[in-house]
Structure 1
Amino acid sequence: MTDLRDVNLNRLAVFVAVVEAGSLTAAAARLGLAKAMVSTHIQRLEREVGASLLVRTTRQLKVTESGRAFYDASCRILQATEDAISAVSGASAPVRGTLRVSAPNDYGALAVAPALVELREIYPELDVELICSDSYVDLIADGIDVAIRLGRLADSNYRAVRIGGYVKWVVASPAFVEKWGTPRSPAALAKLPFIAQSVLPHPLTLELQRGGGVRSAAKGTTKDAAKGTTRSVRCASGLVVNTADTARAAALSGGGFGLLTDFSIASDVEAGRLLRLLPDWTTVPAGIHAVFPPTSYPPAKVLALIDVFRRRLGALG
């Protein structure tokens, strides 16, 4: 029977990184080690535990049955170790190391990047990496400490903290309004060229509310409630794009009206580059969340980022 004293527990982290990254090369990049060193750690770990954990060929790497069981146990051990360290340090721990953050493209550029600059000014010993993408990011597999996500959160085992909220406005350029006129009701939008975003579940459907009403999914229907009125409108597509930044650019160019987030176009509206159509109508308010792996004691660097966000968003109202 293998004696625990014969096993170098540091190699568990290397093994977990290899399994999650899918290759020695990717794991080496994530860990900041040479590929040869990662390979050596795996070989020595297999000798220490007396079992084959990985099967390596020139083209692929596979986890053995024993390796899969050992991976699950290693994850629990590493998580318990992290919790133990956090329990004795908590929020008083120094904010240092590397913080990897993911965010959507538009919100990452407009809000997350400035917040991270402020975070670095407060904690100069903290290194920060921001990964902007509109694709779903797996926090564990991609080594992300915290993801900033907008809208409804999918069910998951991750922890989430609400740090703000947003709505979307119906907007168009002054030139577009001059050519097509000003719509007087949500129904009138259906006849106008619309800049749709293909990344959304229903790109051509607008779900609008006036005064905080209950959402209605039926096409072209209205639902009155104590808090307001909602309307669902099916639009004709004038242009389909795959990013919010491109939709904003197209709206500024007069290519159609758009349904865009308030944080991304507030300055355009204030400057008159875009006009709000039907200003009494918006989408249902949605949340902005910081999402991070489940742990009883979130790392100090994650808590520090959440504090900065809440302070910045609170100052902006």
Structure 2
Amino acid sequence: MTNLSGVNLNRLAVFAAVVEAGSLTAAADRLGIAKTMVSTHMQRLEAELGATLLVRTTRRVTVTEAGRAFYTACRHILNTADDAISALAQGSGELRGTLRVATPIDYGASVIAPMLVALRQTHPELKVELVSADRLVDLVAEGVDVAIRLGRLVDSSYRAVKIGGFVKWLVASPGFIDTWGKPAKAEALAKLPFVAMSALTKPLVVSVESKRGAKRTIRFNAGFFADTAPTCRAATLAGGGVAFLTDFSIGDDVAAGRLVRLLPEWSGPPTGIHAVFPSARYPVPMVRVFIDALKAHLERDVV
């Protein structure tokens, strides 16, 4: 029976890198070691455990069912070790290690990426990995330290801190308005071409509120579908139709006149932006500093 003394624990980090990177070559690049060394570590780890973790072909590496379960456990072990090391380093005042942040694509591009660049200027020993995806990221399974979530939080064991909020606006390009006209009522707006986010459950249905608290739903019939928010913005700027986009992604466009708000007395309901992170036995200075820096960054933008 395999026991802890018979396993080289350094191989856990190599195995996790292979699973996360998707190949031996990518893992080697990520770790800064030779591909042959990665392969050797995997062969010896499987021998130490007496189990097949990976199925290798000439083109790809597939994780077995046992390997997937072992990876989840490895990621938990590695995260706990990282947290403990970070906690010890707190007293030095310098942030070291890698901060892995997950964020929706549009918020990552417009807010998080520039904010992280500024954070690294303050903490040059800090390395950053930004994972941008319009899906719900599993923080523990994917080794993420902190994730930005827009909208209602699903129940989970994660800790959450509210860092801001946003609304959505109905907008179109000046060229589109010149061609189709500027509707004064929702009924006329609903008949216009619409640029829709295909990942949404109801991409052609828009819920808005007035400044006086009235609520209504607008149902569009035809649309240009795109799978990411930046693509929807690009299509709207090009005159593809009306769109319902976040204020943080198009605020500059509206201010510069590249986009025009339609029915400006109506907007989407105020929605929260949260930073979520795994509950940990040890406090994680990197996450705390990230949240504080993000709040400060957002406050500067408001002023």
Structure-1-length-normalised TM-score: 0.78
Letter in 1 for 2:38: V
Shift of the 275–75 alpha-carbon distance from structure 1 to 2, 3 Å rule, reads closer
Deviation, structure 1 residue 164:
1.5
Q: 1:257-290: per-residue Cα shift (whole Å, max 9, x none)?
A: 2211111222222223322222121111122223
The 2-side partners of 1:110 and 1:237 are apart by: 28
Q: Aligned ranges for residues 1-317 of structure 1 at < 5 Å?
A: 4-5=4-5, 7-18=7-18, 24-46=24-46, 51-54=50-53, 56-58=55-57, 61=62, 63=64, 74-90=74-90, 94-211=94-211, 228-317=213-302
| Unpaired runs of at least 5, structure 1 | 212-226
Q: Distance in 2 between matches of 1:71 and 1:184?
A: 56
Amino acid corresponding to residue 173 of structure 2 in structure 1: S
* Distance in 2 separating the partners of 1:207 and 1:64: 43
Q: Distance in 1 between matches of 2:73 and 2:141?
A: 17
1:218 is matched with none
Distance, in Å, in 1 between the alignment partners of 2:104 and 2:51 is: 40
Question: 1:104–1:133: 8 Å Cα contact kept in structure 2?
Answer: yes
Cα offset, 1:53, TM superposition: 4.8
Partner SS state of residue 171, structure 1? strand
Shift of 1:231: 0.5
- Quote the offset at 1:232 in angstroms: 0.9
Contact 1:20 1:141 in 2 (8 A): no
Cα 1:179–1:144 change in 2 (3 A) is same
Q: TM-score, normalised by structure 2?
A: 0.81
Cα distance, 1:108–1:3 mapped onto 2, change above 3 Å: closer
Cα deviation 1:190-219 (Å, max 9, x = unaligned) = 2222222222221110111123xxxxxxxx
**1:282–1:61 Cα change, 3 Å:** closer
- Following superposition, the deviation at residue 61 of structure 1 comes to 5.0
CA shift for structure 1 position 115: 0.4
Alpha-carbon distance change, 186 to 62 in structure 1, aligned in 2, over 3 angstroms:
closer
- AA aligned to 2:296 is R
Q: In 1, Cα distance between the equivalents of 2:195 and 2:268?
A: 16
Count residues with an aligned counterpart: 300
Aligned equivalents of 1:255 and 1:56: distance in 2? 46
Decide whether the 8 Å contact of 2:204 with 2:223 is kept in 1. no
SS in 1 for 2:214: strand
1:182–1:93 Cα change, 3 Å:
same
In 2, Cα distance between equivalents of 1:118 and 1:166: 22
Show the counterpart of 1:222. Answer: none
Cα separation, partners in 2 of 1:144 and 1:90, compared to 1, 3 Å: same
| Residue number in structure 2 paired with 1:223 | none
CA distance in 1, matches of 2:57, 2:111: 44
* Equivalent residues of 1:90, 1:297 under 8 A apart: no
SS at match of 2:290: helix
* Whole-Å separation in 2 of the counterparts to 1:288 and 1:45: 41
Give how far 1:159 is off: 3.6
Deviates more, 1:254-263 or 1:239-248: 239-248
Decide whether the 8 Å contact of 1:148 with 1:288 is kept in 2: yes
Evaluate the alpha carbon distance shift between residue 251 and residue 78 of structure 1 in structure 2; reply closer, same or farther with a 3 A threshold: closer
Look up the equivalent residue of 1:129 and give its one-letter code: E
Q: Which amino acid aligns with 1:81?
A: A
Q: 1:35 to 1:306 in 2, by over 3 A?
A: same
Structure 2, unaligned stretches of length 5 or more? none
